[in-house]
Structure 1
Amino acid sequence: MGVIKRVGVGVAVAALAMTMPGVASAADRGTWDRAELLKFAALPAQTYVPGSEPAGSLLGTAPVNGITPPFADQPVQGFSGVLRNSDGTFDVLSDNGFGNKANSADFLLRIQRVGPNFGPGTVDLLGGINLTDPDGKVPFPLTRPDRVLTGSDFDVESITRTADGTYWIGDEFGPYLLHFDRAGRLLQAPVPLPGVFAPENPGRGDTPANLNSSKGFEGMAQSPDGRTLYPLLEGTVAGDPAGALRFNEFDIAANAYTGRRWTYLLDAPANAIGDAIAVDKDRFLVIERDNGEGATAQTKKIYLADRRDRNRDGQLDKTLVADLMDIANPKRVGGFGSRFTFPFQTIEDVVILDDRTLAVLNDNNFPSSAGRTPGRPDNNEFIVIKLDHDLDADKRVLRRY
């Protein structure tokens, strides 16, 4: 999360498990017509977990967008993954805290539960769970002796939930896959991605890092049958073509990577992905973004990515289904004009509500990002958009959400 960790261009990444053809242009991809804004709600930037611990002590004391750290309680911010619950609420994953390993030791990793109220445009904070390792599954030293996990231990950026109610979470410091029970307790040792090492990886020893900081598992899809995970790196692994991201396959029952992987090619090497979720066994929704915010934001898009590779160029086929900088708003939802934009640096959450409707949330990088209003920290915005076409999603995916 955070401005601090997004500014670098990723090291190099991706490619098929088999020999990949040369990276082709990202042009000449299909495009749907404009999405329409249906609903809008926002959780204020200065929302904190009631009665929690202080945070932000390593941010200094200078005001950031008018907010002066440290904070008396834990900020509810940095939404980097979202799950829909059957009762109309949502579980959202807060990422590592304030942008990097060095400044986030007092931020407690947490899954927040929220409920949007689209009539008044508000979001209720309904509780949540902290992520912990009470049974000592993590083999390296943790920040806290009570083994409550912090933003200096892991940078959690993607989340999915299996039929047994447990969570699989993607981390960027390893990158690792983390498996938690429904109470947020780690169930097993972190699962590393073979051959890939971020600079923060505590187990790499003398092995050089081949992935830039904050470029690990930013998105993670679950197959419709619930048997397989598809974690997507945010940045390029050293030696891979610029702008090519590895899309790996993980067998849940075997607790191991299958060795199969595909390539997601960014429109520009300096871009990044924000989330990835399944539509069916072959197609995925992927958020792709540039690093701009506010007036400098240009690329904030949702693609339908197909691993069948119809044009045989060695990459996932991409179809633009929603340009988040050009959303139709004929009903002036949220008090905005007829053209709505989502101009945030980091947009890291998408969830399917029905076959034609998506919810999209931003990671507000509290207190650092100010994409909506210069000089004011971004709220956690929650929008619902209607697509131009049906997704024709697998019915099991629709039921899951």
Structure 2
Amino acid sequence: MIRQRLLRQTLTIARRDFVATVFTPLFLVFLLSPLIMIAFGVVGGIGGATLARGSTDRERIAVIAPASDKPALTAADARLRQVFRPDEAPPALEVLTPKGDTAAQARTAMEDHEADTAAVLYGPLDQPHIRYGAHGKRTADYLAALAETVLRDRASGAATALSHPDKAPFERIKPTKSGHSQAAFFAVFGIFFLTLFLSTQAVGTMAEERSNKVIEVLAAAVPLEAVFLGKLIGMFGVAVLFVSFWGTLISQAIQLLPIDGVRVFGDVGPAVGVPAFVVLFCAYFTMAYMLLGAVFLGVGAQAQTMREIQMLSLPITIVQMAMFGLSSAAASSPGSTIAHVAEIFPLSSPFAMAAHAANSPELWPHALAIAWQALWVGVTITIGARAFRRGVLKSGAGPKRGKASAQPG
């Protein structure tokens, strides 16, 4: 009966906090806040791309060579560019007709303010002279390769490709080891981002109700442990709603990607398999949120003003970043000492074990890890409730004082 009453009280607190958070206009702003982040990122990316494209459009590489060499240089340039990605290709090639002193002409081309010349080649192709600017060493190497290709074409008597490869995409059935590592990092980053974005709201929850005296009313009617756990469950329900909303949108957006875009992720995958990994990811996100949320709830319960809450935000963020760094190191070095430390340390254990699921196919360690993390959730809630009871409500030793005061009477 006592356990049923505590469970009912906990769920009542959870429902109260969930409704008070979700059924407000501000929750819609919170739910759509990633759109604002995405919008800022898109605007910044467009601005950066525009600047980069503008500077790239003005940039060129030049070859000072007779008109008879222009077709061979152009054909060789077209073949060499096929091995570059569009954003990594050298600047556009311009073949200039020699006019008198080619060295002076090259110097004039480099100093031309109308065109940003990264590098220029002049002289005979078998002993070319190449001059390049501050950031043109790579383009100078490209011009040297271009001259070598033209000479080899002439030596072979053919300016066209001698081989005709049959190229077809290959789809792996199983992810590679590096694909496991990438999946491990994505798992760590995903849980870190979600907990950083969602769990920090727990800091101000208790302080807000403490300032308006609601917490005293709740503490008088419900055990503090039930209050803490109820609030934690209520906030976790808000987090699940947020993740479900954006998870649905992202899953639909992935279906709109072209086949080549989806094929990029073909080599990335967890060692335990996708279905088991999804279940474990959800479980570890739950543990990470509950554990960090319990810590933040206990810390925030000690704050009296919004200024104190703001001061607490920095060390909380530092702790989260430290756990992310430790877990990232564990993801890149499975089975190492640092990986075992990250998997055992309570605050980093959910992150590191999610990475463990991506790197190792064994399932039995996850049952122990989830039980270990659940134990620390309970310990953290108990410590936070007792600290709040003794430090704020000043009632930690109430029964002993009452018993002692009853004896003299």
Does the TM-score normalized on the shorter chain lie above 0.5?
no
Higher helix share: 2
Normalising by structure 1, we get a TM-score of: 0.20
TM-score scaled by structure 2? 0.20
More strand, by proportion: 1
Of structures 1 and 2, the one scoring higher in RCO (CA 8 A, sep 6+) is 1
